[in-house]
Structure 1
Amino acid sequence: MAEMLLEKFKALVPKYLDEKWTPQEGYSAEELGDALAEAELPDGVRLPLVLEEFYRALGRCEELMEAHHFFFDPDELEVEDGHLLFLEDEDERWVWGIPVDILDVPDPLIRRRSNKQKHWNDEDATVGEFILDLLEFSFEED
């Protein structure tokens, strides 16, 4: 399958960290597969292409993975409330996920849940759009 946002994700390292992207910033396909096996996701649950590319490009880049929010490491991914959870805010008030019934969409729509109220809301963005916008917001200059 053709790449979607892999190069855009890689370009975030020089854009926000003023460093050259290196393969050490992300996971190889084999390393990602091993980490996902450790997550013990339910049968049939796979990453959408956009999340696979995100982890391959930036999955080990702590400066981006933990900038005012926390992307789950691949071995920490979990399914809860019918959603694949992959992102949480720094205060653990919100969690973001993808409905498991649309994980086969290459860049599916993202949803946000209040950890207090346990209510899901649509973000009106795809996962890729949301990640790019979130990182841009996190690194905006005052």
Structure 2
Amino acid sequence: MAEMFLEKFRSLVPLYLEDEWQTEDGLTESELEEDLAEVDSPIPLVLREFYQALGGCEDLMEAYHYFFDPEELEIEDGYLLFLEDEEEKYVWGFRIDQLEVPDPIVYRRQNARGVWKSEEGTFSEYVLDMFSWVFDELSPELDN
């Protein structure tokens, strides 16, 4: 299948880290397959390409929120979980009936209530917006 998101995700390294994208910033196909062998679910194309582009880049994988490593992906409540906030108040995921969609809608669960709510955007939209918010809007606050 043709790459749809890989270059866009790779472009985040020079955009936000002011460095060229390096092979070590991502996971190879074999590394990703090995890690995903522990997951009992397919993953959407967009998440696969996200890991191939940025799975080894801690500065982005742990920027404000924490993206799960591929082997940590899990299914709960009918959702494939991929992201968690620092205080573990929220978790983000995809509905499992949407995993074949190349770029599915992201949902957020408030852990205390167990209620899922749509973020009203796809993974690629959500991630690009999140990094823009973290690096462009929060940067002055994080430096203090």
Q: Deviations over 1:38-92 (max 9, x none)?
A: 3xx33xx211000000000000100000011000000111000000000001111
SS at match of 1:50: helix
Q: CA deviation at 1:133?
A: 0.6
SS of equivalent residue, structure 2 residue 133: helix
Partner Cα distance (2:135, 2:42) in 1: 30
**Deviation for aligned residue 1:4:** 1.3
Matches within 5 A, 1:1-142: 1-38=1-38, 41-42=39-40, 45-140=41-136, 141-142=139-140
* Inter-partner Cα distance in structure 2 for 1:21 and 1:60: 11
Cα distance in 2 for partners of 1:12, 1:80 equals 29
Which has the higher relative contact order, 1 or 2, with Cα contacts under 8 A spaced 6 or more apart?
1
Q: State the AA in 2 paired with 1:7.
A: E
The letter of the residue matching 1:123 is E
* TM-score after normalising by structure 1: 0.94
The alignment's TM-score, normalised by the length of structure 2, stands at 0.93
1:52 corresponds to which letter in structure 2?
R
SS in 1 for 2:37: helix
Partner SS, residue 97 of structure 1: strand
The 3-state SS of whatever aligns with 2:106 is strand
Percent identity over the alignment is: 54
Alignment partners' CA distance in 2, 1:67 and 1:76: 18
1:2: how far off?
A: 1.5
One-letter amino acid of the counterpart of residue 74, structure 1: P
CA distance in 2, matches of 1:56, 1:3: 11
> CA offsets, 1:74-133, max 9 Å, x none?
011100000000000111110000001110000000100001100000000001100111
Pairwise CA RMSD: 0.8
Give, in whole Å, the separation in 2 of the partners of 1:134 and 1:21. Answer: 19
Give the Cα–Cα distance (whole angstroms) in 1 for the partners of residues 4 and 125 of structure 2: 12
